[in-house]
């Protein structure tokens, strides 16, 4: 959540590389290239650049496959791997900016980039896992080479970063191995071709499915499977809990992974930090899916006992751009769910369900971050303009035919943590004149409460707006 053109906007840089001279061969700015005098240091930067290229393209491919693959287990595996890859990518990318670079183009040999060209058509989970296995194995071997020859005193931070990455990669290899049925030979990261390929956001990716894949045993229905009337009702009825956990597992958590995956591949021009945030959310939702399926199975249910709907996917598809999609999913739907999730956690606690109470605490914390991510990127896209924010939120509400708040009392702390700084501007303007104003750094901070139709919509928030002249 720190957009920075120098760090994230590869498309700008890629567009410019035609005007570079020597740096076209390396992916660096000319003057920054001159700062490096030793071959070893230059090689390390090239190596990290290649890793970054590989991880970026891998995440994009995994996002496409996550949407299309029908097998929920494989979908979850891809979701967890996207999260892990993003953690590696962020660590390496940050490391790069401690290596005398202000910006760079992730670069590999042309031969290595062809691995991805060949994999574009893969659809079958065995082919996909074989490809990802070979890439991961090659990545591990390449890291090993470096770890074996590096002088730890000069670059211990990179040494430790790569060592951590390698131990995570070994876990990924084990998981992928369960799905692959063959050895897929690939070009290695080390292939020393003179021709270089730069990441540009426009490389071919697998087809982005228009509707998410589901197993053939799962039947689609628009009718809700949920039957409980209250959380108290839910806690004392096994069948109702089975229905609810099936719904949250399939129609909420898995669906949330899919809409975030779509955001990564449909808006490739967004900064790297946006992709990292989406990847982080996908990883979270994958773990939430595992938790909810575990609950379902612990009480005697299983996947496909009930129908699935595609409401989350369909609602998001109504958004015409990334801002509207984020408003619909992260800020509006997940934002409203914050309140009910805390009540659900309380209900689990009240009936002595310690395991689920603990899991829900972790889920709630993740969800607050998702809402925060949505708020952050919407404000980024709208240059922080509160009027445009308000307009987008109102449009989001009308697109999915719902009201702007959940039908329970607003949870002030949760909303504050999730960065609801400026919302429901129309209501704010109505009451702002009699609220307390504190001047700070040329801005005013308003602490306000909103009431519309006798119902608290947002009863507490901080708004930072220019001071009245
Ligand atoms: Fe979730
Ligand atoms: Fe979420």
Encode pLDDT of 374-410 as tens digits: 999 998 999 988 888 888 988 988 898 876 655 667 7
pLDDT interval class at 29 (50, 70, 90):
low
Spatial separation of the C-alpha atoms in residues 82 and 95, rounded to whole Å: 20
CA nearest neighbour of 455 among 405, 395, 386:
405
Distance 252 CA to ligand 1 centre (A): 7
Distance 331 CA to ligand 1 centre (A): 13
Distance 255 CA to ligand 2 centre (A): 10
User: Closest ligand to 333 CA?
Assistant: 2
Residue-wise pLDDT for 109-157, tens only, equals: 989 999 999 999 999 999 999 999 999 999 999 999 889 888 888 889 9
Distance 287 CA to ligand 2 centre (A): 11
Q: What pLDDT, on a 0 to 100 scale, did the predictor assign at position 421?
A: 57
> Is the CB of residue 319 less than 8 Å from the CB of residue 328?
yes
Average pLDDT score over residue span 209-237: 95
Higher pLDDT, 291 or 418: 291
Distance 291 CA to ligand 2 centre (A): 13
Spatial separation of the C-alpha atoms in residues 332 and 259, rounded to whole Å: 14
| Average pLDDT of the residues of the chain | 83
Spatial separation of the C-alpha atoms in residues 406 and 410, rounded to whole Å: 8
> Is the CB of residue 448 less than 8 Å from the CB of residue 463?
yes
Q: What percent of the chain has pLDDT over 90?
A: 59
Distance 2 CA to ligand 1 centre (A): 23
Average pLDDT score over residue span 218-239: 95
Least reliable range by pLDDT among 149-153, 444-448, 465-469: 444-448
Distance 281 CA to ligand 2 centre (A): 7
pLDDT interval class at 231 (50, 70, 90):
very high
Residue-wise pLDDT for 323-356, tens only, equals: 999 999 998 889 888 888 999 999 999 999 999 9
Q: What percent of the chain has pLDDT over 70?
A: 81
Q: What pLDDT, on a 0 to 100 scale, did the predictor assign at position 394?
A: 84
Q: What pLDDT, on a 0 to 100 scale, did the predictor assign at position 77?
A: 98
Residue-wise pLDDT for 41-98, tens only, equals: 888 888 998 999 999 999 999 999 999 999 999 999 999 999 999 999 999 988 887 7
Q: What pLDDT, on a 0 to 100 scale, did the predictor assign at position 99?
A: 75
pLDDT at 246 over 70: yes
Single pTM value for the model: 0.86
What's the Cα-to-Cα distance from 231 to each of 28, 224, 241, 291, 415, rounded to whole Å?
57, 17, 10, 18, 22
Q: What pLDDT, on a 0 to 100 scale, did the predictor assign at position 203?
A: 92
Q: What pLDDT, on a 0 to 100 scale, did the predictor assign at position 369?
A: 94
Residues whose beta carbons lie less than 5 angstroms from ion ligand 2: 256, 334, 367, 370
Higher pLDDT, 13 or 50: 50
Distance 144 CA to ligand 1 centre (A): 36
pLDDT at 259 over 50: yes
Q: What pLDDT, on a 0 to 100 scale, did the predictor assign at position 332?
A: 85
Higher pLDDT, 16 or 50: 50
């Amino acid at each position: 959540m720190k957009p920075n053109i120098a760090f994230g906007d590869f498309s700008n840089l890629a567009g410019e590389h035609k005007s570079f001279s020597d740096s076209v061969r390396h992916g660096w700015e000319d003057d920054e290239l001159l700062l490096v005098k030793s071959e070893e240091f230059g090689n390390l930067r090239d190596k990290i650049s290649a890793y970054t290229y590989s991880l970026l393209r891998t995440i994009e491919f995994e996002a496409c496959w996550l949407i299309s693959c029908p097998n929920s287990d494989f979908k979850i595996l891809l979701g967890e791997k996207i999260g892990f890859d993003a953690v590696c990518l962020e660590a390496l990318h940050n490391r790069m900016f401690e290596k005398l670079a202000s910006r760079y183009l992730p670069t590999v040999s042309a031969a290595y980039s062809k691995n991805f060209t060949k994999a574009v058509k893969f659809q079958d989970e065995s082919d996909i896992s074989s490809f990802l296995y070979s890439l991961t194995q090659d990545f591990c071997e390449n890291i090993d080479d470096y770890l074996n020859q590096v002088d730890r005193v000069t670059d211990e931070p990179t040494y430790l970063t790569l060592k951590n990455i390698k131990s995570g990669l070994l876990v990924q290899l084990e998981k992928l191995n369960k799905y692959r049925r063959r050895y897929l030979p690939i070009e290695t990261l080390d292939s020393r071709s003179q021709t270089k390929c730069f990441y540009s956001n426009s490389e071919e990716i697998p087809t982005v499915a228009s509707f998410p894949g589901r197993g053939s045993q799962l039947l689609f229905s628009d009718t809700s499977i949920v039957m409980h009337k209250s959380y108290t009702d839910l806690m004392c009825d096994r069948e109702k809990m089975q229905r609810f956990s099936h719904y949250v597992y399939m129609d909420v958590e898995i669906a949330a992974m899919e809409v975030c995956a779509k955001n990564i591949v449909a808006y490739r021009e967004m900064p790297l930090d946006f992709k990292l945030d989406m990847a982080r959310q996908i990883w979270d939702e994958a773990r939430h899916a595992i938790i909810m399926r575990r609950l379902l199975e612990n009480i005697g249910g299983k996947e496909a006992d009930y129908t699935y709907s595609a409401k989350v996917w369909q609602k998001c598809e109504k958004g015409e751009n990334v801002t509207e999609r984020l408003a619909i999913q992260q800020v509006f739907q997940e934002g409203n769910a914050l309140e009910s999730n805390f009540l659900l956690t309380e209900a689990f606690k009240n009936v002595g369900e310690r395991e689920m109470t603990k899991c829900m605490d972790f889920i709630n914390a993740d969800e607050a971050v998702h809402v925060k991510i949505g708020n952050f990127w919407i404000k980024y896209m709208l240059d922080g303009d509160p009027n445009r924010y308000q307009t987008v939120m109102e449009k989001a509400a009308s697109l999915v035919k719902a009201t702007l708040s959940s039908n329970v009392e607003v949870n002030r702390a949760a909303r504050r943590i999730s960065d609801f700084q400026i919302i429901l501007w129309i209501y704010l303007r109505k009451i702002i004149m009699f609220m307390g104003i504190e001047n700070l750094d040329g801005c005013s901070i308003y602490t306000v409460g909103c009431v519309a139709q006798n119902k608290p919509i947002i009863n507490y928030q901080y708004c930072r707006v220019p001071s009245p002249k």
